[in-house]
Structure 1
Amino acid sequence: MRTAAVRSRDLWPAREDYRLLRRTWRKDVLAGITVGIVALPLALGFGVSSGLTAEQGLVTAIVAGLLAAVFGGSNVQVSGPTGAMVVVLVPIVATYGAAAIAAVTLIAGVLVMATGLLRLGRIVSIIPWPVIEGFTLGIACIIFLQQVPLITSPHQAAPGEHSSNAVVAAGQSLAAADPVYLAWAAGAVVIVAACMLIAPRIHPSVPGSLIGIAVVAVLAALASSPLATIGTIPASLPAPSLPSIDPELLGVLLPAAATVAALAAIESLLSARVAGSMADTGAFDPDRELVGQGVASIGASLFGGMPATGAIARTSVSIRAGARTRAASIVHALVLLAVVYVASGPVGMIPLAALAGVLFMTAIRMVHTATVRSIMTSTRSDAWIFTITAIVTVSFDLIWAVLIGVALAAVVALRGAARTTGVALEPIQADPPSDLDSSIVAVRFQGPLFFVSAERVQETVMGVGTPSVVILRLARLERVDATGAQVLAQIVRSLERRGITVLIKGVRDSHSALFRRVGVLAALRHHKHLFVDFDGALEHARSHVAREREQV
């Protein structure tokens, strides 16, 4: 226990986290206020889009944002509800109801925290760029489509009324749309979108989304519009309590929680990695980041919130505003907390269509055409991986999309590595030449020899014909796995059964133990058929051919 505690000491908050605060606190406070303003409409919108409430989204941004800032492994990561998590939560709410989310959030938080304690944070580094971008494109499409029900009817769909698939649900909503309501909602979306486009041109720090929401809220109130609003938001945080978990539902909720945990881990680590490349804010600890995100989701569940992850959009805003320590993320959470206690009344009057407008624009801004163009014009395999990952994300499931994308990338990588394996049948070209050399063939191996290329190598060598002696030249053979070594042993045995003497030249020290264990060396007819240099092997081969000819 004591040893484990010492080893995990670097996974918890320390005074060192705030060593730069004396020099950067002014910029951190300003950045925290800025990102808090930006996060408000997103927190409200993601709460509603998940099938939950705006209050739950706001509570999550406050509690999880604060805990992740203190316990996380990044100095600048801003956490809260995100669009990717919304995509996962919608079908869970439709299947198990909104009451199950707190339990799912708690279980997922424990799983994410355990992943960090087990030091599995580096796993995100295996996700290739085309998979990440395809995943992002798919999420953007789903977020966009999930807003359609908010602008077609003043009433949220009851669980099971619409499909859990965003594409199908958007079509169902449009088919049953109220034309009058749709016209009002579309107008609200246009106003918000226009404000978000124009405001940054006036000044980068102008919060276009908040201005758009405020304009729509005022116009909707003055014109007595039919637009549905957020509704009453409590003027304080709810009292914390442990979510009730029905033992009978535990087995059913575990797969859903595992999906949420996997997504939270992947998105948080990707966000933190991108944030680390945007500014010199210090290296991030992926294992501590997972512990922090796990603590954040556990804390959010105690207040009835939803799962949280690192949010790259809000993190980027914070960094561009000058954030250099985790104090900025803490201030962001405090700003949102102040909104609850001071402005819950006005927030409750915000039309849902205005939040939909913010999320429509958020989804559009997630897709960078230059990035898509770069991937699609890079290599054919990367273009296919990007496209398939995006399609699977939209059509089926986010986690499956990542797994399939990584699997495809692995197949492509293995295929490329297999092509670097070279095997060539070479006639003997020695100086001085000998008429005996016509009965000798050298087989040169080059590059790695592993399971992907093993069959092709075996087929090539076995087409050697009917020489008296075959010399296997292995000096340029690189990495060899057990399958590759087994194939070499099979080649030696097969050639020997055909009456062909096999000599092996140039076994590397790093390969000798594997070859001995697998039986490559034991397959040779004689232990003296192993050579260090080619001249010695060739001399022995010529003597063997000469003896055969004398016997004839």
Structure 2
Amino acid sequence: MMHADGRLIAFTPKLITVLREGYSIDRMRRDCVAGLTVAIVALPLAMALAIASGASPDKGLVTAVIAGFLISALGGSRVQIGGPTGAFVVVVFGVIAQHGYDGLLIATLMAGLMLIVAGYLGLGSLVRFIPQPVVTGFTAGIAVIIASSQVKDFLGLSMAHVPADFLPKWGAYFAALDSVRIVPLAVGAGSLGLIIALRKWAPRLPGFLIAVILAAAAVALLHLPVETIGSRFPDLPTDLPAPAFPDFSPAKLQAVIPSAFTIAFLAGIEALLSAVVADGMIGSRHRSNQELVGQGVANIASALFGGLPATGAIARTATNIKAGAITPVAGIMHALFLLLFILFASDLMAYVPLAALAAILFMVAWGMSEHHRFIQLLRMPNGDRSLLLLTFGLTVLVDLTVAIGVGVTLASLLFMMRMSQMVEIANDSGNGALSSEEAGEDIHQRDALPPRVEVFRIEGPVFFGVANELLDTLRRIGLPPKVIILRMRRVPLLDASGVTTIEEIVRQAGSASTQIIVSGIQAQPMAMLERVSLGPADRRVIFCGDFPEALRVARAIAGAPTAAAEQLN
């Protein structure tokens, strides 16, 4: 019953929890102020991210409203703010270019389902196993790609087509440098300078919104010749679209599966990282699996309303906390304020210059780059440094999916290599002193081992990375001994490969009439051996509680005739 109650709590949205605690007028006031503050920040950001992703700006706003509402209402964090983020720009742009917008909606629906399944399977805690060099590498790579995608609008370049790949894109930029226009560059540079200045001298002010408003006012009043949202997207809707399923086909469904996995992976990683950051800022603890479920539902709903993939946004979540938010109601209010803007102020979006949005995305990319952490990781050992640079390079030059797959795989191999280096397999048959941690074992018995008794001490997990090394160490002893004692008190884990190795050792020992004695084995390795019928009931292996007992049994076997030894078995 307690297990069932714990699982029920783990999958209870934080909104329900805080409402049960009691929701006062003061809490509502603080949450409404925080929600309005975050909405002001999210407004230009949602439009800019949508345009950078190859979609129209209203798609970003729809995503911020629908997904932002549901992530706060159903998620496992008190203060998480959800919506479109920079992490998705590269993936979304590629999916739209390759499979069309319907393909993106299908991929987002599938990603939502994957996140829900991952949450109910309890995979939310796995985020801590993604190594920092991989996360920083592909985050910095995404930042470089986002910044690169905005060069055309920032400089006002006259280009009919911008290549999607990184190197061809920059080649095209350099070829078009003679078409730089001063007015868009001035608007973009002025917006960028204003945002930087406000962050330094007035960090409480909404720098993104102020820069967009002033840039739009300058363009409208001075009739500046720059491209705006209205000139690129002349038919923007003024309300939320009705929910609808995208056009499905088995071929398109199969084609977008890799993209769906990438979206689900990025959404889960960024949402849980954002929730962890929020926990540190407010002294709370999020429910990771319910957060994945909430993210999944939000992405499904966003796709049904024609929106983009969504996840928790670290910068907006931090803004929410600094503005005084204490419950998920703040995130819900942020979505409602954005909805009011769509319904009553959509016409004003037409005046926003694309150069100003490019300046915003430059700042987003700079924040995503985590340059301080990137430099810090470059000082780490060669393995971590190589993992960082490889993930970064693959993200920028090849593909985000490839970068994640290769990065996680190499990180796993690096971890296993390091773990195998920590495992010690020592022949303790000679004289030597026991460490202080081995107190209680008879040192004098060990110093006077009977003839043809070999002792091997194993320290660390015996998994597939070191299993063959154990077998090779035992093979190097030359003439088969009468008894082999395997000291396993410091073996916390035995995997399938380790069990297979022990089986092979027992088989070879049986062929050489050698008795295997295992001393001090822990619960997990014993359970694994019992799975393959090598436990105490099998009688091929003798199990002793500690090393002195194993020595006594070994002396009895070594000093006894063959028949007597067989009786001991």
Q: Which shifted more, 14-23 or 61-70?
A: 14-23
Task: Letter of the 1:236 partner, please give it.
Answer: T
Which residue pairs with 2:478 in the alignment?
A: 465
Give 1:275 deviation, angstroms. 1.7
- Please point out which of 487, 494, 509 is paired with 2:508: 494
Secondary structure at 1:305 match in 2: coil
Task: Give yes or no for the alignment of 1:108 onto 2:122.
Answer: no
- Distance change in 2, residues 1:36/1:171 (3 Å): farther
Which residue pairs with 2:439 in the alignment?
A: none
CA distance in 2, matches of 1:349, 1:68: 31
Is the 8 Å Cα contact of residues 15 and 329 (structure 2) preserved in structure 1? no
The C-alpha deviation readout for 1:118-177, integer Å capped at 9, x for no partner, is: 4433332321222222222122111111212323557786xxx54433443343244235
The C-alpha deviation readout for 1:253-294, integer Å capped at 9, x for no partner, is: 4443343233222222222222222213x4222232223222
Is the 8 Å Cα contact of residues 141 and 369 (structure 2) preserved in structure 1? no
Is the 8 Å Cα contact of residues 47 and 61 (structure 2) preserved in structure 1? yes
Give 1:325 deviation, angstroms. 0.9
The C-alpha deviation readout for 1:375-423, integer Å capped at 9, x for no partner, is: 2223332222222222222223334333332222222222222223222
Task: Give yes or no for the alignment of 1:78 onto 2:81.
Answer: yes
Which residue pairs with 2:40 in the alignment?
A: 37
- Please point out which of 340, 355, 370 is paired with 2:342: 340
- Give the number of equivalent residue pairs: 537
- Distance change in 2, residues 1:211/1:463 (3 Å): same
Which residue pairs with 1:264 in the alignment?
A: 267
- Please point out which of 374, 390, 393 is paired with 2:392: 390
Q: Which shifted more, 306-315 or 125-134?
A: 125-134
Task: Letter of the 2:211 partner, please give it.
Answer: G
Which residue pairs with 1:196 in the alignment?
A: 195
CA distance in 2, matches of 1:216, 1:270: 34
Give 1:46 deviation, angstroms. 0.7
CA distance in 2, matches of 1:338, 1:517: 62
Give 1:509 deviation, angstroms. 6.1
Secondary structure at 1:449 match in 2: coil
The C-alpha deviation readout for 1:217-258, integer Å capped at 9, x for no partner, is: 233344443311001465731331313314253333444334
Is the 8 Å Cα contact of residues 422 and 445 (structure 1) preserved in structure 2? yes
Task: Letter of the 2:108 partner, please give it.
Answer: T
Task: Letter of the 1:212 partner, please give it.
Answer: A
Task: Letter of the 1:412 partner, please give it.
Answer: L
Give 1:51 deviation, angstroms. 0.9
**Percent identity (aligned):** 34
CA distance in 2, matches of 1:535, 1:7: 48
Secondary structure at 2:229 match in 1: coil
- Please point out which of 538, 553, 556 is paired with 1:540: 556
- Please point out which of 357, 360, 381 is paired with 1:358: 360
Equivalences for 1:31-430 in 2 at 5 Å? 31-153=34-156, 161-177=161-177, 179-181=179-181, 183-231=182-230, 232=234, 234=236, 236-247=238-249, 249-280=252-283, 282-429=284-431
Is the 8 Å Cα contact of residues 489 and 523 (structure 1) preserved in structure 2? no
- Distance change in 2, residues 1:508/1:253 (3 Å): closer
Q: What TM-score comes out, normalization by structure 2 length?
A: 0.84
Give 1:372 deviation, angstroms. 2.1
CA distance in 2, matches of 1:433, 1:233: 86
Is the 8 Å Cα contact of residues 421 and 453 (structure 1) preserved in structure 2? yes
- Distance change in 2, residues 1:513/1:350 (3 Å): closer
Secondary structure at 1:29 match in 2: helix
Which residue pairs with 2:17 in the alignment?
A: 16
Is the 8 Å Cα contact of residues 31 and 326 (structure 2) preserved in structure 1? yes
Secondary structure at 2:460 match in 1: strand
Over 6 Å off, 4+ runs: 4-9, 432-436, 521-524
Aligned alpha-carbon RMSD (Å):
3.4
Q: Which shifted more, 411-420 or 426-435?
A: 426-435
Secondary structure at 2:227 match in 1: coil
Is the 8 Å Cα contact of residues 111 and 299 (structure 2) preserved in structure 1? yes
Is the 8 Å Cα contact of residues 145 and 167 (structure 1) preserved in structure 2? no
Task: Letter of the 1:501 partner, please give it.
Answer: T
Q: What stretches of structure 1 of length at least 5 have no aligned partner?
A: 548-552
Give 1:426 deviation, angstroms. 3.1
Which residue pairs with 2:462 in the alignment?
A: 449
Is the 8 Å Cα contact of residues 41 and 210 (structure 1) preserved in structure 2? yes
Task: Letter of the 2:164 partner, please give it.
Answer: S
Give 1:8 deviation, angstroms. 6.7
- Distance change in 2, residues 1:452/1:6 (3 Å): closer
- Distance change in 2, residues 1:307/1:467 (3 Å): closer
Is the 8 Å Cα contact of residues 449 and 481 (structure 1) preserved in structure 2? yes
Q: Which shifted more, 515-524 or 261-270?
A: 515-524
Is the 8 Å Cα contact of residues 268 and 310 (structure 1) preserved in structure 2? yes
Give 1:540 deviation, angstroms. 2.6
Give 1:475 deviation, angstroms. 4.1
The C-alpha deviation readout for 1:171-219, integer Å capped at 9, x for no partner, is: 32442356243x3333222211211111133322112222222333233
Give 1:12 deviation, angstroms. 5.3
- Distance change in 2, residues 1:59/1:453 (3 Å): same
Is the 8 Å Cα contact of residues 153 and 178 (structure 1) preserved in structure 2? no
Task: Letter of the 2:176 partner, please give it.
Answer: A
Give 1:82 deviation, angstroms. 1.0
Is the 8 Å Cα contact of residues 471 and 504 (structure 1) preserved in structure 2? yes
- Distance change in 2, residues 1:155/1:337 (3 Å): farther
Is the 8 Å Cα contact of residues 154 and 359 (structure 2) preserved in structure 1? no
- Distance change in 2, residues 1:239/1:319 (3 Å): same
CA distance in 2, matches of 1:187, 1:156: 19
- Distance change in 2, residues 1:52/1:457 (3 Å): same
- Distance change in 2, residues 1:326/1:427 (3 Å): closer
